[in-house]
Structure 1
């Protein structure tokens, strides 16, 4: 591919793309700058955010667009101002691909909360060009957000870590998950399964999976959970498990009884909400916080340092995400299967022949 050739990828032209109506065709990536790299994409994970964006679920999306922000690829072109990467390096790109480097969060090395964050797709780079994601053959963007993948960590496991993995790793390490800590995970899905895996990898003394039914109990225990609470099958679950946890990671996006979950926390406990419900969180009594000195927090993706630390931990502990690898050419069907709730627990799209014009 010549330096200025258009890229090939799955392009969404309108909100019907979320139903599996993306079109494989050419598009024009951001203009190449000397601080950029290009990647030959090997794999790209499928995230729920992809579907929300395709359907304009969080506000009008900027069509045409290419989604995908769990990208693993080999560096194929390097700008002259890039010092830390070279052609042939295997790197990953997550949900964020640029920051302003000047605001308070950026100066605190907390760039995942940058006021001018550029998302890897459906955003605008600082030069005004649109950002395009990884359901494609190639990716182009700032080298500063391309994170080296440790040797020995398979790409199919690394891909979903770039967003789904770090989204739970961030609050776990921020709020002290580790030896002696008891962690609850609400929702056993894509994010929830990562939360269980990383809580165990961090050495937590007890990991408790929490779901409405026991349909995923066997999976949760196999992932490493020590206990399982099925809230829809035991009306006494809040009292039976009262004050038994130090940290709760909530990955669910639907409605849930916040006051009952808070009752599971012990003194100085923290409840972290990751899922983004369409409706406001239910009301609760402030006494639930006051009497046990509890905290309610939110968390958004993770920083570059957290991503690098997470990848290192995943390599050292041989952490294996539960993934189903599908050919890139099946991307439309993968979206349909995702909407049916079929992944156990993350889909990863894999490119075949980089030279093929059609998937």
Structure 2
């Protein structure tokens, strides 16, 4: 079927309206009428070929919510009319160790929602800046929030799971001191989730203007990282720091804040590398510098269910499809609180 979408034909061109083709649902497929799609910073990196290997035409978008409009004959768990979501994964090998453990995000043959090879035209996946999507039932997620919250649920499919996964893996909760570096699309979700999990949450920002904003999101304390005395007050005190900043920066100032055996995990993905940290910052306190990448399907469903129970959604600004290029420029300036979401009915 031919549907409307928004995408780019090269790194130098702005995103524009285009027609794309979706496959007819197979026996295990779910067809979804997309209602809203969140706008992720990685969309910019990919569509502008700041990460190597962009395939064009590129239709971004991996924070997808909508309603099931058709199902294949062997689909048992979803029916027409269900509220569902699609995150960053639309396929994987289904038989490796990672897939067997529900960690499809670490499968060597994971297929992302856009810019990954597929038999479907045009030979690579096309994302959620579009009217419909067809996905194998394994990668469809159930949404239990109220329907009026649907647009604000969309960013949970990337920003939510990207911060939930390390918080769960490193066991954030009561009695743990957790730092969230950066108060943007990822960081604002990290603060909300860590607070709801019962951790003592400290938000780090370079902007004094964000101090009260972070407290309103659930931070117990806020540190302006450019203030040495504020940073010094937290040396050797954190169990976990989740660093969401997607621009190269010095890591050592945050590593010194970790306790013995503490961990800082990177979830922001800059277009160029961070400066290398000082090795003695790690050795002397057996600290760890780690990374974390979205989450598998079971973990993403767990996150969505947790957010529904705790009434957690993203703070969003809605845009029309034809406002996407302006939204990209505003994102690069940090001019959004905290996530843009496209109303796909405007395609």
Q: Structure 2 length normalisation: TM-score?
A: 0.94
Q: Does 1:319 align with 2:312?
A: yes
Task: Encode CA deviations 1:66-117: one digit per residue, 9 max, x unaligned.
Answer: 1111000111111112221111111000011111012221122211101001
In 1, are the aligned partners of 2:103 and 2:296 still within 8 Å (CA)?
yes
Q: Does 1:12 align with 2:5?
A: no
* CA distance in structure 2 between the partners assigned to 1:280 and 1:341 by the alignment: 20
Between Structure 1 and Structure 2, how many residues are aligned?
345
- Candidates 215, 221, 241, aligned match of 1:221: 215
Q: Does 1:307 align with 2:300?
A: yes
Shift of 1:126: 6.1
Task: Encode CA deviations 1:148-177: one digit per residue, 9 max, x unaligned.
Answer: 101426212210000111000000010010
Which runs of structure 2 are paired with 1:1-359 in the superposition (5 Å)? 5-17=1-13, 21-30=14-23, 32-125=25-118, 129-152=123-146, 154-204=149-199, 206-232=200-226, 234-352=227-345, 359=347
* CA distance in structure 2 between the partners assigned to 1:303 and 1:274 by the alignment: 15
Q: Kindly tell me: are residues 15 and 263 of structure 1, through their superposed partners in 2, closer, same or farther at Cα, counting changes over 3 Å?
A: same
* Long gaps (5+) in structure 1: 354-358
Deviates more, 1:323-332 or 1:186-195: 323-332
Match of 1:356 in 2: none
Q: Kindly tell me: are residues 328 and 254 of structure 1, through their superposed partners in 2, closer, same or farther at Cα, counting changes over 3 Å?
A: closer
In 2, are the aligned partners of 1:96 and 1:120 still within 8 Å (CA)?
yes
* Long gaps (5+) in structure 2: none
* CA distance in structure 1 between the partners assigned to 2:192 and 2:145 by the alignment: 20
Q: Kindly tell me: are residues 255 and 53 of structure 1, through their superposed partners in 2, closer, same or farther at Cα, counting changes over 3 Å?
A: closer
Secondary structure of the residue aligned to 2:31 is: strand
Q: Kindly tell me: are residues 36 and 225 of structure 1, through their superposed partners in 2, closer, same or farther at Cα, counting changes over 3 Å?
A: same
Secondary structure of the residue aligned to 1:352 is: helix
Q: Kindly tell me: are residues 47 and 292 of structure 1, through their superposed partners in 2, closer, same or farther at Cα, counting changes over 3 Å?
A: same
* CA distance in structure 2 between the partners assigned to 1:184 and 1:262 by the alignment: 11
Q: Kindly tell me: are residues 338 and 281 of structure 1, through their superposed partners in 2, closer, same or farther at Cα, counting changes over 3 Å?
A: closer
Q: Kindly tell me: are residues 349 and 217 of structure 1, through their superposed partners in 2, closer, same or farther at Cα, counting changes over 3 Å?
A: same
* CA distance in structure 2 between the partners assigned to 1:151 and 1:242 by the alignment: 39
Shift of 1:52: 0.9
In 1, are the aligned partners of 2:320 and 2:344 still within 8 Å (CA)?
yes
Secondary structure of the residue aligned to 1:16 is: coil
* CA distance in structure 2 between the partners assigned to 1:139 and 1:117 by the alignment: 18
* CA distance in structure 2 between the partners assigned to 1:248 and 1:62 by the alignment: 34
In 1, are the aligned partners of 2:105 and 2:294 still within 8 Å (CA)?
yes
* CA distance in structure 2 between the partners assigned to 1:141 and 1:105 by the alignment: 20
Q: Structure 1 length normalisation: TM-score?
A: 0.91
